[in-house]
Structure 1
Amino acid sequence: MLRMRHEVNGGPEVLFAEQVDRPVAGPGELLVRTEAIGVTLPTVRKVREGSGPVSFGGELAGEVMATGEGVASFTVGDRVTGLCFADAYAEFAVLNAAMASRVPDGASAVDAVALVRSGLVARGAYEAARVEPGESVLVTAAASAVGSLAVQYAKAAGAGRVVAAVSSAAKAGFVRGLGADRVVLYEDADWGAPYDVILDGVGGDLLAPAVRALATGGRIVAFSSGGGTVEAYELLVRGASMIGFQMRAIATGKPELYDRWLRELWRLHSAGTLRTAVHEEIPLAEAARAHAVIEQRRNLGKVVLVP
């Protein structure tokens, strides 16, 4: 089977394809014939900045070809999606059954990859912010896979003013089409402040201006892998708070809540309230091109590899 790897750190040019044997499902695992694989910014960053080779992780969706010992919740032929932590960029991958969920009838593998993980992060970040009806919400990285769903979810959940922050004016039409009431650029002076809530998917140097854009009593929820620091004084003078959100803590620590959010996402998607945005479907062997799109921040929605 085809699998993508890298041996040294660097840009997209370090990725290469290799032919290897199919993996085997171990206890509690599923062997999945992949139909769609999501490319994420954290994985791209690990290739560029990591201390050594990393196995590509990511969301995937496909058909169960074999089940490991102890798996009772899935059978061969089921269509599933989930987060794979190792060797996800492959024609066949091993997925922990505890991290898998079924793809509903009528939904495509690409829809599943674009909706589930990104939608759960968007949903969870919104929940962490404790948004009250009518409050203003700013979403950074609004053209990303998570951001595009966060904008739509905020509108559907009853937020007042929903503003999309993006890196380029070329993305403005896209985020307006998602329902954003206004679009601001990171380079703008005050981002149209103040905001009751900021859902931040960028981090890094943008954290400081994000905090300054908070209203009195505002909340910023950080869910990116971009790091960054915040001056405590900036929070103090606004009576504001900063919250870190991690989806894995919900998936492993609160499975009932995770399942409820998952059902809600598929219901909203089926109703047309949440629309998945896919920038491009790229052949698996061209994964380097997919990484380049993410690194250059050109994507509008999810970048998906297709074996």
Structure 2
Amino acid sequence: MRRVRYESTGGPLFLEEAPVPEPGPGEVLVRTEAVGVTLPVVRKVTEAAEPIPLGGEIAGEVAAVGEGVTRFRAGERVTGLCFGHGYADYAVLHEAMASPVPGTASAVDAVALVRSGLVALGALDAARPEPGEAALITAAASGVGHLAVQLAKARGCAGRVVGAVSDPAKADFVGALGAAEVVTYGRDDWGGPFGYVLDAVGGDLLTPAVAALAPGGRLVAYSSGGGTIQAYDLLVGGKSVIGFQTARIARGKPELFEQWRQELWRLFAEGTLKPVVHGEFGLAEAAAAHRVIESRSNLGKVVLRP
């Protein structure tokens, strides 16, 4: 089979031939049809001290199951988070991280919707929205952000949703998702105050995001971008910061995780939630897909199609 690999930090991505992996106990082998490209994986390629397997969300058909697997059989379609080599013709998923793909959805729909949707929905729940509050969503044109804008509207979780983006050229796209206003990061006034902010950027953006909160407001941070917040900025106005990570919910509250999955597919089937795919790339074009994410030029999800 083919898979994408690199040999040194920041080094070029290349295709290589590799054996088809064998599923271990509790694992399923998936013939990969779509792979979601994420900012955390792109960052690890350029920042991690040692090369890592290129993983992430995958979707496809179960080719084989390992010992002890009871939820899936060969021939069924699944999606989930791969912690090994996911940029490949075949990839391994742990059974607990896999979920079925409805017959009406494509593999591209699945990788654009499920993982990014779980992050968006989980961050929204973590914010504990109160009726009528205004919401700010950063990286609003991203794979997660464009779903978060739609989910905040669909759930009635905000009296007004404002999307924040890096480039004014993204304003029309985010406005079409339902945002009442779109602002760029360089502005002094983001249209607040906001009851809560869902932040996928981090870094230098954290300070103005906290400043944009109303008294008692909550910043939900789910970015891999790091950053520092001054305690005094929180004390003034009784603001708070909440860190959100989907893996913790998947391990500790699997029933809630499954409820979120079902809600995402229900909203998708109703046409209320519409994942947008910025572009589809072949495995040999993985480096080009990474460049789209690095340049922050994507409108929606970037997908590899083995």
Pairing 1:134–2:132 present: yes
**3-state SS of the aligned residue for 2:267?**
helix
Please identify runs of 4+ aligned residues in structure 1 that moved more than 2 A: none
Q: Which runs of 5+ in 1 are unaligned?
A: none
**3-state SS of the aligned residue for 2:119?**
helix
Name 2:248's counterpart in structure 1.
Answer: 249
Q: Distance in 1 between matches of 2:222 and 2:83?
A: 18
**Which of 27, 35, 38 is 1:29 aligned to?**
27
Deviations 1:124-156 (A, max 9, x none): 101011001211000000000100000000011
Letter in 1 for 2:291: A
Name 2:209's counterpart in structure 1.
Answer: 210
Letter in 2 for 1:28: G
Name 1:266's counterpart in structure 2.
Answer: 265
Q: Distance in 2 between matches of 1:133 and 1:78?
A: 41
What TM-score do you get using the length of structure 2 for normalisation? 0.99
Deviations 1:73-116 (A, max 9, x none): 10000100000011000000011111000001110000000000
Q: Distance in 1 between matches of 2:227 and 2:219?
A: 13
Name 2:182's counterpart in structure 1.
Answer: 183
Q: Distance in 1 between matches of 2:86 and 2:237?
A: 43
Q: Distance in 1 between matches of 2:197 and 2:255?
A: 27
**3-state SS of the aligned residue for 2:42?**
helix
**3-state SS of the aligned residue for 1:238?**
coil
Deviations 1:252-297 (A, max 9, x none): 1101101111100000011111100110011111100000000000
Name 1:87's counterpart in structure 2.
Answer: 85
Q: Distance in 1 between matches of 2:247 and 2:137?
A: 21
Q: Distance in 2 between matches of 1:20 and 1:120?
A: 31
1:52, distance to aligned residue in structure 2 (A):
1.3
Letter in 2 for 1:47: V
Contact 2:134 2:192 in 1 (8 A): no
Name 1:287's counterpart in structure 2.
Answer: 286
Pairing 1:9–2:9 present: yes
Name 1:73's counterpart in structure 2.
Answer: 71
Q: Distance in 2 between matches of 1:195 and 1:73?
A: 43
Q: Distance in 2 between matches of 1:22 and 1:41?
A: 26
Pairing 1:196–2:195 present: yes
**Which of 104, 109, 112 is 1:111 aligned to?**
109
Query: Over the residues paired in the alignment, what is the CA RMSD in angstroms?
Result: 0.7
Q: Distance in 2 between matches of 1:233 and 1:190?
A: 21
**3-state SS of the aligned residue for 1:183?**
strand
Q: Distance in 2 between matches of 1:86 and 1:119?
A: 21
Pairing 1:56–2:86 present: no
Identity in percent = 66
Deviations 1:227-257 (A, max 9, x none): 1110010011111111000000111110110
Letter in 1 for 2:230: E
Q: Distance in 1 between matches of 2:215 and 2:258?
A: 34
Contact 2:134 2:159 in 1 (8 A): yes
